[in-house]
Structure 1
Amino acid sequence: MSYIKATDVLPEEILLLIQQYVDGEYLYIPRKETNKKSWGENTNSRKELSLRNSNIYNDYRKGLNIKNLSSKYFLSEKSIQRIIRQSNR
């Protein structure tokens, strides 16, 4: 996330009003609900995790146990169990 200088984008009267509440501090202005993006929308993270989880489930069905899967994918045994349980549905 990059910062935008308020003096470059806000009219002076709005800037003065904001300064009454927050003077010289950082202020986060959230996105409008209509502009929000879901997690992983800008990257391939969602696809990569889905592929990884699919591979874990396939390896489990081929006979790898949870301990071996945990070592292979660098995840806790609980995480492997959760992925298998979710993939099983």
Structure 2
Amino acid sequence: MIYKNGRDVLPPSLLKELQKYVQGELVYIPKPSDRRASWGEVSGTRKLLAERNEEIYRFFTSGWTIMDLEKKYHLSGESIRKIIVKTR
């Protein structure tokens, strides 16, 4: 992140108004946007986990045991159970 001096980028009237609230401190000004992306949306991780969970559920409904799924996905039995319950 690049820091800029307020004197260089803000009009004098706005700088004076900001100094009423904050002086000599760093202030982060976020980019304008409608909403922030949820966790995993940008990288695709959310989609990959959803697909994995659907696959776990399909295997379970086709007869795989919790132990089989634990070994295949390297997850605890409790995690597998949670995924199955959520996916139903």
TM normalised by structure 2 equals 0.62
Q: Give the RMSD, CA atoms, in angstroms.
A: 2.9
Q: Supply the distance in 2 between the matched residues of 1:11 and 1:70 (Cα, whole angstroms).
A: 61
Which of these two proteins has the greater Rg computed from alpha carbons? 2
Q: Supply the distance in 2 between the matched residues of 1:57 and 1:44 (Cα, whole angstroms).
A: 20
Note the residue ranges of structure 1 that are not aligned, 5 or more in a row.
none
Q: CA 1:31 to 1:73, structure 2 compared with 1: closer, same or farther past 3 Å?
A: farther
Which contiguous aligned blocks of 4+ residues in structure 1 show a shift greater than 3 angstroms? 2-12, 22-32
- The answer to whether residue 72 in structure 2 is matched with residue 72 in structure 1 is yes
Partner of 2:56: 56
DSSP 3-state at the match of 1:75: coil
Q: Supply the distance in 1 between the matched residues of 2:46 and 2:5 (Cα, whole angstroms).
A: 34
Which structure carries more helix by proportion? 1
